[in-house]
A and B are shown apart, each in its own frame.
Chain A
Amino acid sequence: MKIRRYGVSFAALAVASALVLTGCSGGGASTPATNANTTAIITTNGSEPQNPLIPTNTNETGGGKITDNIFAGLVYYDEKGAPVNDMADSIETTDSTTFTIKIKPNEKFTNGEAVTADSFINAWQYGALLSNKQLNSYFFADIEGYSEDADSPLTGLTKVDDLTFTVKLKAPAADFPLRLGYTAFMPLPSVALTDVAAFGENPIGNGPYKLASTGAWQHNVQIDLVVNPDYTGGRKPQNGGLTIKFYASADAQYADLQSNAVDVIDQIPDSAYSTYQSDLGDRAVNQPAAVFQSFTIPGRLPHFSGEEGQLRRQAISEAIDRDTITKVIFEGTRTAASDFTSPVIDGWSDSIEGSDVLKYNADDAKKLWAQADAISPWSGTFQIAYNADGGHQGWVDAVANNLKNNLGIDASGAPSPTFAQVRTAITDRTIQTAFRTGWQADYPGLFNFLGPIYATGAGSNDGDYSNPDFDALLAKGSSETDASAANKDFQDAQSILFKDLPAIPLWYSNVTGGYGTSVSNVHFGWNSVPLYYEITKG
């Protein structure tokens, strides 16, 4: 998951955007317009990267948008989220535990260095080593040798020859090849590891674009990228380059789009939700994306464990009118949830057993709440904690009003001024209320929405949920070699979640974006970011 964050409160953290554009142009790969100008520079929105541009240390959208365009990993994701070999010639496995990876010959970084097995092995070793303090280190956690307590090399990485290496995992993970398109798995040239700080300022990559020059990253202003002529992969740019302007607020970038000062933006400010579709016409984008929103009720809260807890959770879920909130508060820029994942992910289903609990049913909610009261009477206020700098107040208030009106209890939002404050309270387990949770997928797979959040002891299991049946189904799905069989297991696992409701699913964030009159062939990828290489201008 990449963090999205703007300077001045306007925008959401971990709430994002993206997929497929509306209206016009359908269908897959790039079909460049006949009169397109292949030297034209596309301008787009971004935000100042919060870390040096090292792929293993880039975990927010500001930096991710840049690294994804200047680096090319083993695979990239196409518009629908399917992996396509980029640097990889082949990725093979027989047991979902050991993977043999062959790299295409004659690929090179923009400094002329060849892309070899070492480019990957050394980059991953660097990213995984504890003392390198990389924000994305946990992506390597499944590889043999990884330790989160002490410096330990990834013994699972073995070089076979210059263009071949093997990866051995601790446990089977059928979706491992799918993960390899994520930023953390990019290769690095050897020069990167001799002076990481300097490299992070002027990174040398192997992707479709490269920095226009040394110092092309003008902090807080913009970064200029030009086409990398040496790139041979499937993301061949149809334009001359990319200028990513850093915006402090979504409002500013929207104003710029309206005055044609920027070509493509991938987030609409909430102040324009009600007007942007009429402002932009068919240049407006609004499609579901791989972002799942919920609020988590930790099991340790009084009244929320055991049978009473199940009743209360179901009552709360049924008391929320998701359709109206997404329509009124979000002006249709959210899609009411029907599972725990996202509709853009292969294997998503809106008819998983038990998903009725997401349907608005005030009468039933009242009944369930009364049954719970019979076990132990409710007292106090139901609160949802959120960071006030993320634009969450509107929906939290609306949900609280739903609960007040339909359950007859007192409910309210509990804003914290800073993200750090609420996040620390969640991490320390000191938080005494329900809290907002959001998940933007790292890679397009069902498991990524379930394993890291609800598996017993998982890294982001903030509600300390634990259910052995659920864990067993996850493990079963991970070891399946057949993708549809794996998806079936993950759907079954969700049926368990619907009973226990460790988190109350709310909605999927849509990608909201738009583009100017001078560009065409604008498509948004599964991860809410436009496929810049396809865009043509002029």
Chain B
Amino acid sequence: MAGYILRRLLQAIPVFIGTTFLIYFMVFALPGDPIIALFGDKTPNPAIVAQLRAQYHLDQPFIVQYLIYMGGIFRGDFGISFSGQPVTEILARTFPVTLRLAVIALLIETIAGILVGMIAGLRKGKIFDGTTLAVSLILISLPVFVIAFVAQFVFGVQLGWARTTVGTGAPTQDLILPAFVLASISFAQIVRLTRSSVIETSGLDFVRTAYSKGLGRRRIVPVHILRNSLIPVVTYLATDFGVLLVGATVTEGIFNVPGVGNTLYQAIIRGEGPTVVSFVTVMVLIYLLVNLAVDLLYGLLDPRIRYVK
């Protein structure tokens, strides 16, 4: 077991190098000169542009830029944004907020999604199943910005149940409404996944055996059916966690969450290589750990799965 974990952690190194290289290249490949854009609609003085390009190493070939950046990382220097702030500071400021938001959203979608999916699966073809499908269809057919606007207007402005935007210090209660909006994106996926998995598991021999042994539903459903249905769901949730960490741009923008999504989006649009790569790098490391945890969790959910041979 320890050997397996160690091997997995070592694999993070090539992933780290591969990811940073790929992302740095993508930012590099973005057409347009980020320095020229700093001057807005005004045409800048070429001499100043040249000096600023040199300051951010943008005048170097791609591979040199990449190596300069990687060299900095190993000295603990993640670079400086165009606004003159160390990227590490930006990271330290935004990541905790987004992490909290992601965890709350994940909790909501996990609890609601699994519960609803399970009931729908157990009562396949009944009214509850049909209603769930209808709700899922509505949620999935509306882009997140529509859901966010409507939620903000209804719950924030009209009913006053929640703050319209996130307040100073991003208190957790302010994050609940945006978290619900985020959770709604994946809700349909988790419901469908849980439902199909529960239906499939319900037909398996050991469930029928359990019924014929005279066990009650109260025991069979959580212990036999749900536990054995969770593997694909847990896997999907883990990937969704990764999405929540970087992909919440729109929701964070509408609710003014001072988190990763917004900062990262701006950095992408402005072509700030070091900022983009540093953010994604941290996110990759978290994601690798989460995936490792999930792989280990498989063994608990299905004892037949063994990694250590």
Taking beta carbons and an 8 Å cutoff, which residues of A are in contact with B? 1-3, 6-8, 10, 13-14, 48-52, 59-60, 130-131, 133-135, 137-138, 148-150, 197, 200, 218-222, 246-249, 251-253, 255-256, 258-259, 261, 271, 389, 416, 418-427, 437-439, 452, 459-462
Nearest A residue to B35, CB-CB: A420
- Interface contact B253-A133, CB-CB below 8 Å: no
Chain A residues within an 8 Å CB radius of B52: 133
- Residue pairs across A and B with Cβ atoms less than 8 A apart, 23 shown, are A1-B42, A3-B39, A3-B41, A133-B52, A135-B38, A219-B89, A220-B262, A220-B263, A246-B258, A248-B252, A248-B253, A248-B257, A249-B256, A252-B164, A252-B165, A255-B152, A255-B157, A258-B157, A389-B269, A418-B37, A425-B32, A438-B41, A461-B43
- B236 neighbours in A (Cβ, 8 Å): none
Contacts of A14 in B (CB 8 A): 40-41
Task: Give every chain A residue within 8 A of B149 (Cβ-Cβ).
Answer: 251, 271
- Interface status of B176 (Cβ within 8 A of chain A): no
Within 8 A of A (CB), among B1-60: 30-34, 36-45, 47-48, 51-52, 55
Known contacts A1-B42, A259-B156, A427-B36; is A421 also within 8 Å of B31 by CB? yes
The smallest beta-carbon distance between A97 and chain B, in angstroms, is 23
Flag if B40 contacts A51 (CB, 8 Å).
Answer: no
Contacts known (A133-B52, A460-B42); A252 close to B253, Cβ less than 8 A: yes
Chain A residues whose C-beta falls within 8 Å of the C-beta of B47 in the assembled complex: 130, 148-150
Query: CB-CB < 8 A to B269: which residues of A?
Result: 389, 418-420
Contact with A along B258-299 (1 / 0, CB 8 A): 100011011001110000000000000000000000000000
CA A31 – CA B260 in complex, angstroms? 44
Q: Give 13 A-B pairs besides A7-B265, A256-B165, A420-B32 with Cβ atoms closer than 8 angstroms.
A: A13-B40, A52-B84, A133-B48, A133-B51, A135-B38, A197-B84, A248-B253, A251-B149, A419-B269, A420-B31, A420-B270, A423-B41, A424-B33
In the complex, A420→B163 CA distance in Å? 35
Q: How far is the CA of A447 from the CA of B41 in the complex (A)?
A: 17
Please report the C-alpha to C-alpha distance between residue A220 and residue B262 in the assembled complex, in whole angstroms: 10
B164 to chain A: closest residue by CB: A255
Q: How far is the CB of B141 from chain A (nearest CB, A)?
A: 20
The answer to whether the Cβ of B255 comes within 8 Å of any Cβ in the partner chain is yes
CB–CB B40/A3 < 8 A? yes
**Is B83's CB under 8 angstroms from A50's CB?**
yes
Q: Are A252 and B254 in contact (CB under 8 A)?
A: yes
Residues in A whose Cβ lies below 8 Å from that of B186? none
Name the contact of A59 in the complex, choosing from B32, B39, B152, B265 (C-beta under 8 A). B39
Contacts A1-B41, A220-B263, A459-B43 hold; do A420 and B36 have CB atoms under 8 A apart? yes
How far is the CB of B257 from the nearest CB of chain A, in Å?
A: 8
Interface residues of B in 38-91 (CB under 8 A from A): 38-45, 47-48, 51-52, 55, 82-85, 89-90
Rank and list the top 6 A-B pairs by shortest CB-CB distance, nearest first: A420-B32, A8-B253, A3-B40, A421-B32, A420-B37, A255-B164
- The CA-CA distance from A295 to B257 in the complex, in Å, is 35
Q: How far is the CA of A14 from the CA of B39 in the complex (A)?
A: 11
- Chain A residues, CB < 8 A from B249: 8
Q: Interface centre among A3, A439, A452, by most B CB within 10 Å?
A: A3
* Number of residues from B at the complex interface, CB < 8 A: 56
Known: A59-B40, A137-B45, A424-B31. A261 touches B165 (CB 8 A): yes
Given A389-B269, A423-B37, check contact A259 B43 (CB 8 Å): no
Residue of B nearest to A131 (CB): B51
Give the complex CA separation of A59 and B168 in angstroms. Answer: 26
Asked if B206 is at the interface (CB within 8 A of a chain A CB), the reply is: no
Q: Looking at A13, A52, A248, which has the most chain B CB atoms within 10 Å of its CB?
A: A248
Interface hits, B137-179 → A, CB 8 Å: 149, 152-153, 156-157, 160, 163-165, 167-169
Known: A220-B258, A258-B164. A200 touches B84 (CB 8 A): yes
Contacts of B89 in A (CB 8 A): 219
Task: Tell me if B133 counts as interface (CB < 8 A to partner A).
Answer: no
Could you tell me the distance between the alpha carbons of A200 and B258 in the complex, rounded to whole angstroms? Answer: 21
B119 within 8 A of A: no
The smallest C-beta distance from A352 to any residue of chain B, in angstroms, reads 24
- Say yes or no: B255 contacts A50, CB within 8 Å: no
Residues of A within 8 A of B42 (CB): 1, 59, 138, 452, 459-460
Tell me the smallest distance from the CB of B269 to a CB of chain A, in Å: 5
Chain B residue contacts of A420, Cβ below 8 A:
30-34, 36-37, 269-271
Residues of B within 8 A of A246 (CB): 258
B220 within 8 A of A: no
* Given A1-B42, A148-B45, A389-B269; A259-B160 close (CB under 8 Å): yes
A138 to B165, CA, bound (A): 39
Instruction: Please name the residue on chain A nearest to B34 by beta carbon.
Output: A420
Neighbour of A10 across the interface among B37, B168, B253, CB < 8 A:
B253
Tell me if B43 and A462 are in contact (CB < 8 A). Answer: yes
Instruction: Give Cα A60–Cα B252 distance, bound, in whole angstroms.
Output: 22
**Interface membership of chain B positions 204-242, coded 1 if the CB is closer than 8 angstroms to chain A and 0 otherwise:** 000000000000000000000000000000000000000
Is the beta-carbon distance between B256 and A252 smaller than 8 angstroms?
yes
Kindly state the separation between the CA atoms of A338 and B43 in the bound complex, as whole angstroms. Answer: 25
Knowing A251-B254, A252-B164, A418-B30, the reply to whether A220 touches B93 (Cβ < 8 A) is yes
Q: Across the two chains, which residue of chain A brings its CB closest to B80?
A: A197
B255 cross-chain contacts in A, Cβ below 8 A: 252
Chain A residues near B31: list those with CB within 8 A: 418, 420-421, 424
Chain B residues within an 8 Å CB radius of A422: 32
Across-interface contacts of B256 in A (CB, < 8 A): 247-249, 252-253, 256
Q: Which residue of A lies closest to B152 (CB)?
A: A255
Among residues of B, the one whose C-beta sits closest to the C-beta of A197 is B84
Nearest A residue (CB) for B169:
A221
A59, A246, A423: most-surrounded residue (chain B CB, <10 A): A423
Query: In the complex the two chains form, what is the Cα distance from A237 to B156 in whole Å?
Result: 32
Q: Give the docked Cα–Cα distance between A49 and B153 (Å).
A: 28
Q: How far is the CA of A200 from the CA of B89 in the complex (A)?
A: 16
- Give the CA-CA distance A419 to B271 in the complex, in Å: 10
Would B82 and A424 count as touching, CB distance under 8 A? no
Chain B residues, CB < 8 A from A149: 47
A130 and B165: CB pair below 8 A? no
Q: Contact partner of A255 among B30, B44, B153, B258, CB < 8 A?
A: B153
A130 touches B51 (CB 8 A): yes
* Structural contact, B43 and A460, CB atoms closer than 8 A: yes
B27 to chain A, nearest CB (A): 11
A60 touches B266 (CB 8 A): no
